[in-house]
């Protein structure tokens, strides 16, 4: 008996599913692409428990007859290509004939379709075993129902994330495909958000705000070239930037892709228009002749290969540079703008403070920063008047710098101090913003002091987009616990009713955006991660800003409070707080010592 055997079809399908069906979002992507290939102009989607319990898609495409229902579940059975030569000029999303049999092999699967009004059949399949086909009249089109995904594959099911996370991934698929198909009507119903209806529009730009959030409606359109070689899309103006690249959407011939060449061309295009570490938002639609791009290079067709990369890269890069140059020309120069006002309450009265960091907020502190004294009061402190404690603070008792002497500040941002050191004198350079950020972070997060809440009148409506809201949804209770009083408002917005009193004069939208960006970069969203990132952002927004002048006594108190922290060397985001130069270091730099 030979040792090599041909695998049964249901085993081969489950193996193929490991490449095609990674999670509910990949199932949804395959089903929607099939519907679009069938000519659908209206899509009705629904899911429950992040797609694990139910995924349903109804379309008004061309539909299928009874015999085609059976063939649709056969591997490598497709209506989209006939010969190998067709792969060189693909005009459809799908072509391999693997998606439906792979999905049907790992779920309870139902396919209901009709080619004409009043006709139709329904096929039922459970984990790769067809249970039968019955007549079932319906309107022209197809409905696919996927239930209990991976229910008989516990190892695969364990790798799925929480329903909230899968829910956000599903919204990501909807966002990308809906941007690529402005002519299609979309209706999305879920068990975790209000229904979303996207009517057909002429241009993708009309869908930026509903899908991505209100601020993305400010993206500027551009176009370059003529069909069949055409590049169009939308880019953010110079004043709208982000901390990562999560707001870049790339499409090649209507297909959402991840392509290194296009990302490199994008980076080349925005160079010089955005500061280092800041990234724009961009939605790019690249239209090429089908034979100019190969999409058969990845199981999920998420990567492409250009036949003329040396032509694509400079074209895309130059077109984007011209788009950002034009956008920059429409904006006022920062040199012509009035100076930004200090983000400090100059006349606010002193308020209760946490005793372990009392030295920074003595009554003698400069009034320019006394408003931050109440950033994180101890429990019960809000109910009694402020009275400085006679006992020395923990920071004042620290033995780490007994002879610390503040020399001044460079650029009203970096504090300069002389410290005796263990062996020889040292020069310390302290970033006052990140130092204060570390002090506030430990007070809020490590010691869990709850701030007072200042109501916002009127409440602030922050448009986030469905995907971002679903990602933030599980943590609304934690947001409220630290003073950001908010609630979901519809399918894509958050209504902020109050902020911690030390942020009452700030706009909550940047805080929420930066928090979401950090969660996305983290790659996971459990409560501990969220709490850490939330408190880090709160501390960052409340900390003394650069160019805020401190008198020597307050500067010294800040350094001593920093040394009282459990982790004084970095801010909560990992940036260094303190640089040290010994006398020997300086002498070597001036050639006084070998």
Q: Does the pLDDT at position 398 exceed 60? A: no
For residue 155, what are the contacts with CB-CB under 8 A and spacing of at least 6?
A: none
All structural domains of the chain: 9-200 (3.30.565.10), 208-333 (3.30.230.10), 348-594 (3.30.1540.20)
Name which of 352, 349, 351, 382 is nearest 367 in CA terms: 349
Give pLDDT, residue 61.
93
For residue 235, the surrounding DSSP H or E stretch is strand 229-235
What percentage of the chain has pLDDT greater than the value 70? 75
* pTM over the 0.75 mark: no
Give pLDDT, residue 451.
65
How far apart are the C-alpha atoms of 30 and 16, rounded to whole Å? 14
Mean of the pLDDT values across residues 210-230? 91
Query: Between these two residues, 176 and 354, which has the higher pLDDT value?
Result: 176
Mean of the pLDDT values across residues 185-204? 92
**What SS3 state is found at 488?**
strand
Q: Does the pLDDT at position 563 exceed 80? A: yes
**What SS3 state is found at 198?**
strand
How far apart are the C-alpha atoms of 581 and 219, rounded to whole Å? 46
How far apart are the C-alpha atoms of 155 and 149, rounded to whole Å? 12
Helical pair 432-441 and 527-542, crossing angle rounded to 10 deg: 130
Secondary structure of the chain: what % helix, strand, coil (to 5)?
A: 35, 20, 40
Per-residue confidence band for 14, with pLDDT thresholds at 50, 70 and 90:
low
Per-residue pLDDT tens for 350-394?
333 333 333 333 333 333 333 333 333 333 332 333 222 233 333
For residue 58, the surrounding DSSP H or E stretch is strand 54-59
Give pLDDT, residue 139.
93
Q: Does the pLDDT at position 546 exceed 80? A: yes
Give pLDDT, residue 522.
53
Backbone angles phi, psi at 460, to 5 degrees: -100, 125
Give pLDDT, residue 377.
38
Per-residue pLDDT tens for 515-535?
777 666 655 445 556 667 777
Per-residue pLDDT tens for 434-467?
888 888 888 766 555 566 788 888 888 888 888 8
């Amino acid at each position: 008996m030979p040792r090599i055997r041909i695998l049964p079809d249901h085993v081969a399908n489950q193996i193929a599913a490991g490449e095609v069906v990674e999670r509910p979002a990949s199932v949804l992507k395959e089903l929607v692409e099939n519907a679009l290939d069938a000519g659908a102009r209206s899509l009705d989607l629904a899911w429950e428990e992040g797609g694990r319990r139910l995924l349903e898609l109804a379309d008004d495409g061309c539909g299928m007859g009874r015999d085609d229902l059976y063939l649709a579940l056969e591997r490598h059975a497709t209506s989209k290509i006939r010969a190998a030569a067709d792969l060189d000029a693909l005009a459809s999303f799908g072509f391999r004939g693997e998606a439906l049999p792979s999905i049907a092999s790992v779920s309870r699967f139902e396919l209901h379709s009709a080619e004409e009004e009043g006709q139709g059949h329904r096929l039922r399949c459970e984990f790769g075993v067809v249970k039968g086909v019955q007549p079932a009249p319906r309107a022209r089109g197809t409905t696919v129902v996927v239930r209990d995904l991976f229910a008989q594959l516990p190892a695969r099911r364990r790798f799925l994330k929480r329903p909230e996370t899968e829910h956000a991934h599903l919204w990501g698929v909807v966002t990308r495909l809906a941007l690529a198909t402005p002519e299609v009507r979309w209706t999305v119903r879920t068990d975790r958000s209000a229904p979303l209806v996207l009517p057909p529009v002429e241009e993708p730009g009309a869908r930026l705000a509903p899908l991505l959030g209100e601020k993305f409606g400010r993206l500027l359109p551009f176009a370059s070239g003529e069909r069949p070689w055409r590049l169009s899309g939308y880019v953010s103006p110079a004043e709208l930037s982000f901390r990562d690249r999560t707001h870049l959407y790339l499409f090649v011939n209507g297909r959402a892709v991840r392509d290194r060449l296009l990302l490199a061309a994008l980076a080349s295009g925005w160079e010089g228009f955005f500061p280092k570490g800041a990234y724009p938002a961009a939605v790019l639609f690249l239209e090429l002749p089908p034979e100019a791009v190969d999409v058969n290079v990845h199981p999920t067709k998420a990567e492409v290969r250009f036949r003329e990369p040396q032509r694509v890269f400079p074209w895309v890069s130059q077109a984007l540079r011209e788009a950002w140059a034009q956008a920059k020309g429409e904006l006022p120069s920062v040199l012509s703008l009035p100076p930004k006002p200090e983000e400090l309450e100059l006349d606010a009265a002193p308020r209760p403070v946490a005793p372990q960091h009392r030295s920074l907020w003595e009554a003698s502190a400069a009034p320019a920063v006394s408003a931050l004294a109440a950033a994180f009061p101890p429990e019960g402190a809000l109910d009694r008047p402020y009275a400085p404690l006679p006992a020395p603070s923990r920071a004042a008792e620290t033995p780490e710098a007994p002879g610390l002497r503040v020399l001044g500040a460079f650029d009203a941002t970096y504090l300069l101090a002389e410290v005796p050191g263990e062996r020889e004198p040292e020069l310390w350079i302290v970033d006052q913003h990140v130092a204060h950020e570390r002090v506030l972070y430990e007070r809020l997060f490590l010691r869990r002091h709850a701030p007072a809440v200042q109501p916002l009148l009127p409440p602030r409506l922050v448009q986030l987009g469905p995907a971002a809201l679903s990602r933030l949804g599980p943590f609304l209770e934690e947001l409220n616990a630290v003073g950001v009083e908010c609630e979901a408002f519809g399918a894509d917005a958050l209504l902020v009713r109050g902020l911690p009193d030390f942020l009452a004069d700030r706009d909550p939208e940047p805080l929420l955006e930066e928090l979401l960006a950090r969660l996305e970069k983290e790659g996971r969203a459990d409560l501990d991660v969220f709490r850490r990132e939330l408190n880090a952002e709160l501390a960052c927004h409340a900390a003394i800003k650069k160019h805020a002048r401190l008198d020597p006594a307050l500067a010294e108190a800040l350094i001593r409070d920093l040394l009282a922290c459990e982790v004084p060397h970095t801010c909560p985001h990992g940036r260094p707080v303190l640089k040290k130069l010994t006398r020997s270091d300086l002498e070597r730099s001036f050639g006084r010592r070998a």
